[in-house]
Structure 1
Amino acid sequence: MLFIALIYLFVLPNPFTSPNGTLLMDYLSFWLAGRQALTGTPEIVYHLDSFSELQFRTTASDTVFAFFYPPTFQLLQIPYSFLSAKIAHITFVATTSIFLWYILRAILRNALWATCLVVIPASLNNAFHGQNAALTAALYALFLINIERKQPVLAGIALGILTIKPQLGLLAPIALIASYNWRCFASASITSILLAGASLLVLGSEVWISFVGQVPIASNVMQNGFVDWEKMISLYSSLRQFDINHIYSSTLQACLGLVCLVCVAFAWHQTTDMTIRAPVLIAGTLLTTPFALSYDLTLLIVPCAFVIRNGLEQGFLPYEKFMLTAFIVLSSSTSSIAIQLGIPLAPLLPFIVFVLGLQRYFYYSSFSTQMKATNTIKP
């Protein structure tokens, strides 16, 4: 099935291909960003008019993709930009997916389960669009598994690189402060500074000035729905889909973010159990940021991996299998349901995973006592 999909997308004529054969997917903006870095004009990607004109010359199509990522992510795209657009798309998806699979296998201690998680619908959606959620999920997984293994410096390096998508690290500093993990905090800070410095050295200062200058444009794009609300997964976008104005939607989104912040601080202060920490942090982050899209649901694979590992070894809590199944099934159709039925289910998915973590915290004592008393391992 995957092979047929690849043939359809990369070989046969299809609606996702421009008149000159260029693939019209999100990855095109990544590839062009890398190309512009090679030509010495990396700042063009942060000037929407110039970047739109560049895309038109490249694709002969009116379809345009913005590039709202920091120059650190543009820096990472340079190696891929030596390849043709389609080959770069395949290579980027393959390398980041393998990276994610490798870290998931380390968490689960099981290659088959890691493979199953990498090919869930949310992850395939990410691969189809050539997006970076597999990479950010792998970095989050690397951060968390090194926290669990008490290797804070390595954890901090992974977290520092995650600044390529800053909104995904909103609550991570809170988690580290609450758990008194100062070495990881320092490592992450140093890594992010070094990565920014490397991008400054390679790409120049003008690219950072242009990036900062386009921040209001990115905010305007979100506020005015230039990215379809149905494709997003935040509470903010769901409320906007119901025609609730920007002020009320932003206020409710901020209130939800504050609740998530408190829960992350509490969970990371009270326990070292990663089946609690990982769901609360990652799902809480996706609930907090107003700007996240359906492919970002791929990040929820990581906390699910910790929960599945614990469930297989010690037993699942009531309703955990049902909740995990609901997440996997619904991750394939949130945008379709929102478009066709007008029902924005997407925020429900990070909420499900968030509840998985909280449930484990509140039931942990009695559940552990029961497991020790019965001395059994449930399948």
Structure 2
Amino acid sequence: MEPMVIPQRDDPYRPYRRVGAVLAACIVLVGCVEVIRNVLHPTSVDFLSFWGAGKLALGGAAASAYDAASLHALQIKVAAFDAGDMPYPYAPAFLLLLLPFALLPFPVAMGAWSAVTLPLYAVVARRFAPRSGWLAVAFPPVFVSIAIGQNAFLTAAAFLGGLTLLAHGRKVAAGMVLGCLILKPQLALMLPVAMLAAREWRVIAGAAISSLAILLIGLLVFGTAASVAWLAQMPLYMHIARDGLVGWHKLTSLYAAGRQAGLSETAAMVVHSAVALGAAGLVADIWRSDATPSAKAGVLGAATMLASPYVYMYDALMLLPAFVFLVERRAPVAVVGSLWLLPIAGILQAAWRNGPINIGPVVPIVLLLLCYRLGRAHSAAGSGRAGSTFGVDDGPIIPIGYESARP
């Protein structure tokens, strides 16, 4: 479908575009400075675990990537600085993406990683919301992912790409892209809720195919030992999430916020579980309704950040669909702008390790409530498409980011 020409006065992104461009440039610039600083004075950032695991895989010892002692010894020996203990948590198939970067020196590899994955995220985000320009790069968590070399750009691209394909009615392909989140399953917990509620059987089938294929590829390429070692390491990350081994200030879940505020493990998990179940209920309700595709995507993105106790600031890129929906529905600029910028306070708080309150869950909770209320209200007012499912209509398919142009 050819993009619709929207008159300037009807452009919902107009209040954000100029400021967003400046903020995006600042984020990329500061991110580049951080990468250069790491080149000159390497530190134990998250990418060190990716690079070390890739090095071991190149040497034919992929299973050792999941052995903390072996990985740490290599990090210290080859990186040539006193590296911290950075474990590697991802399925063996992810090593295939890391092999080219493992051929490079660590500091160079880290810069190359962001140089490749950030544009991918930006292009997919622009495809998801065609009129938004490059605003997706202006979201503060983008800086975090650049600064520590995380894989949030890849996971966000899979999420946004899958939803975009779904909005265009390419359901099996959408499922296959969304199934790639098996590499980071804590970010896919709400997907089954949404797809089952919407009875999107072809999406579910596509996700099953790709997720199983990813696991099988890892098994075939790197051998049984690597897959067994990966599974055996899982309790470590359950321990990190439960006991906050990395510090409660770095996790942004409601459970982490509760623990940082002094709640017991049981009390914090009760609060977290209650909110997660409530979020799942909202996801199921709106995905079985006749709400617009962007409303469903917004609720799903916000709920995703409330599902698992094990989420970090960089994972907040999953919130982009919620912001897109609010902008498309012309929510107050002050509200959208405040929520967009609030993660800056969370980043500073995490960097300084100060304060008894973890504000990480605030943004997804508020976005979830706003998107659900606005999405259901819009549907009840008759602007939804009765009887339709996500990405399917009796008329032409309207991509995400174009619904607000409908009469």
1:223 is displaced (CA, Å) by 2.2
- Separation (CA, whole Å) in 1 of partners of 2:222 and 2:186: 22
Q: Percent identity?
A: 26
The corresponding residue for 1:86 is 107
The corresponding residue for 1:63 is 84
TM-score, normalising length from structure 2?
A: 0.81
Aligned residues: 357
User: How has the CA–CA distance of structure 1 residues 269 and 365 changed in structure 2, closer, same or farther, with 3 Å as cutoff?
Assistant: closer
**Is 1:242 matched up with 2:254?**
no
1:7 is displaced (CA, Å) by 6.2
Residue among 367, 370, 373 paired with 1:359: 373
Residue among 173, 183, 190 paired with 1:164: 183
**Is 1:344 matched up with 2:358?**
yes
Say which is worse superposed, 226-235 or 250-259, in terms of deviation: 250-259
SS at match of 2:89: coil
**Is 1:99 matched up with 2:120?**
yes
SS at match of 1:50: helix
SS at match of 1:270: coil
Residue among 313, 334, 344 paired with 2:346: 334
The corresponding residue for 1:372 is none
Which string of whole-angstrom CA distances, capped at 9 and with x for unpartnered residues, describes residues 277-309 of structure 1? 11211211110110001111122123323443x
Say which is worse superposed, 344-353 or 330-339, in terms of deviation: 330-339
Contact 1:275–1:360 (8 Å) recurs in 2: no
**Is 1:253 matched up with 2:272?**
yes
Residue among 211, 216, 224 paired with 2:243: 224
Which string of whole-angstrom CA distances, capped at 9 and with x for unpartnered residues, describes residues 162-213 of structure 1? 2110111111011111111111110110111111111111111111111111
| CA root-mean-square deviation | 2.3
Contact 1:75–1:203 (8 Å) recurs in 2: no
Name stretches of at least 5 consecutive residues in structure 2 with no aligned partner: 1-25, 384-403
The corresponding residue for 2:51 is 31
**Is 1:43 matched up with 2:51?**
no
Residue among 16, 29, 53 paired with 2:73: 53
SS at match of 1:231: coil
Residue among 291, 311, 317 paired with 1:298: 317
After the TM superposition, which residues 137-152 of structure 1 pair with which residues of structure 2 at under 5 Å, given as runs? 137-152=156-171
- Separation (CA, whole Å) in 1 of partners of 2:130 and 2:28: 27
Contact 1:234–1:347 (8 Å) recurs in 2: yes
Which string of whole-angstrom CA distances, capped at 9 and with x for unpartnered residues, describes residues 2-58 of structure 1? 67646643445xxx579xx53432111111111211111111221222222222223
1:86 is displaced (CA, Å) by 2.3
- Separation (CA, whole Å) in 2 of partners of 1:7 and 1:282: 28
User: How has the CA–CA distance of structure 1 residues 23 and 340 changed in structure 2, closer, same or farther, with 3 Å as cutoff?
Assistant: closer
Contact 1:100–1:137 (8 Å) recurs in 2: yes
Name stretches of at least 5 consecutive residues in structure 1 with no aligned partner: 370-375
TM-score, normalising length from structure 1?
A: 0.87
| Structure 2 counterpart of 1:341, one-letter code | G
